Chains A and B, each alone.
Chain A
């Protein structure tokens, strides 16, 4: 008899808890439904803005998120997102997502734009957690350093010079921060190497 009473009591708890869960879940589902489109638009605009930054504006003519493909990178065993940019339906450039895993604090995410002549059209950092005031000079808003990749390719400078000046490379390091720029430089180089292995898929 006693155990039966306890059973009813704990059932009551379960029902009350479930009621709260249902009310909260309903409110969340409703909010999610209301905000879904706007959040999606925000994300697309953000990607388009970053893509537009690594390419001169007049080079593409299709909505950018429609031309997205994923290809595996054999050296890192990870997929890379590639945006093929066309003009009058002729491919003129690609933008490849890249992640430098060996930043000073965590990984650095970026976009690398490469023109049909295999030169870099631009690099932009999309996400990082580098030291404010030191490593964050990789951001385009903080310094022009990131623009030093413009026009570079695997042919010029030669592969061994794709590093910081301290190690006889072609790129500046920052005062007090060598690890961050080196991680970015190496990842841009890796992206170019990856690009060479897949480029015939975009240009006939």
Chain B
């Protein structure tokens, strides 16, 4: 138990922020989850994968779609890398990560094309571009390649959920300011009949268009980071 805690602590030193790794860690899995979702969030703390994050988060449903795809990819990649880590010779480990991650992303792309065709078309190039999300490679190298399969799975899940959460929150805020709705077109993901948005400010809502455009993505993401840092500094 003590040993697992130590490796986890060692692995998380890649993070920009230093986390208080106290010796008393009752539940390492809980620590892993909290790290991925909050303390070491790939988007708001490590600032990785910002290109798809800013480009796709113009609506909550787009954020949710890419968030799920990315989370599944990082989960599968962590499990696969961890399960085969004894074959990962140091000289070839990076090419192996690339093969594994690009294979998983292609697989996720095929499944989305078959079972969530509309959202697949909407996300377009950003599905294959998940391969280039550094957050996934970072988890494979710094965590999955030196930890047991179950821990790696939880770490992957936490990292993916953390990234997806930021995508959804940013998407929802941008959609609300720009279009006056939240979670419009949810049926594209579920493949059901049209579902009304969670929030709808009505047809006459004149949105602030800049929120949906790239400059709005930067400004609102900056505000989100400030809010996150404010909350984190309160905890210290």
Contact = CB atoms under 8 A, between A and B. Distances in A.
A32 B113 CA distance: 11
A63 interface: no
B110 A35 contact: yes
A27 to B, nearest CB: 7
Interface residues of B, dominant DSSP: helix
B67 interface: no
Contact of B92 (A13, A32, A38): A13
Interface string A125-157: 000000111100000000000000000000000
B22 to A, nearest CB: 38
Interface string B110-124: 110111010000000
A27 B107 contact: yes
B152 interface: no
A166 B198 CA distance: 40
Interface string B80-114: 00001001010110011001100100110011011
Given A132-B58, A132-B209, A38 B115 contact: yes
Contact of B113 (A24, A28, A42, A134): A42
Given A24-B103, A28-B107, A133-B207, A35 B89 contact: no
A17 B110 contact: no
Given A27-B107, A132-B209, A16 B114 contact: no
B212 interface: yes
Interface residues of A, number: 23
Nearest to B115: A38
B80 to A, nearest CB: 9
A133 B212 contact: yes
B178 A16 contact: no
B96 A35 contact: no
B213 interface: yes
Contacts of B103: 24-25, 27-28
Interface in A5-52: 12-13, 16-17, 19-21, 24-25, 27-28, 31-32, 34-35, 38-39, 42, 46
Contacts of B99: 17, 20-21, 24
B96 A20 contact: yes
Contact of A31 (B58, B87, B107): B107
A111 to B, nearest CB: 16
Interface string B42-86: 000000000000000010000000000000000000000000100
Interface of A: 12-13, 16-17, 19-21, 24-25, 27-28, 31-32, 34-35, 38-39, 42, 46, 131-134
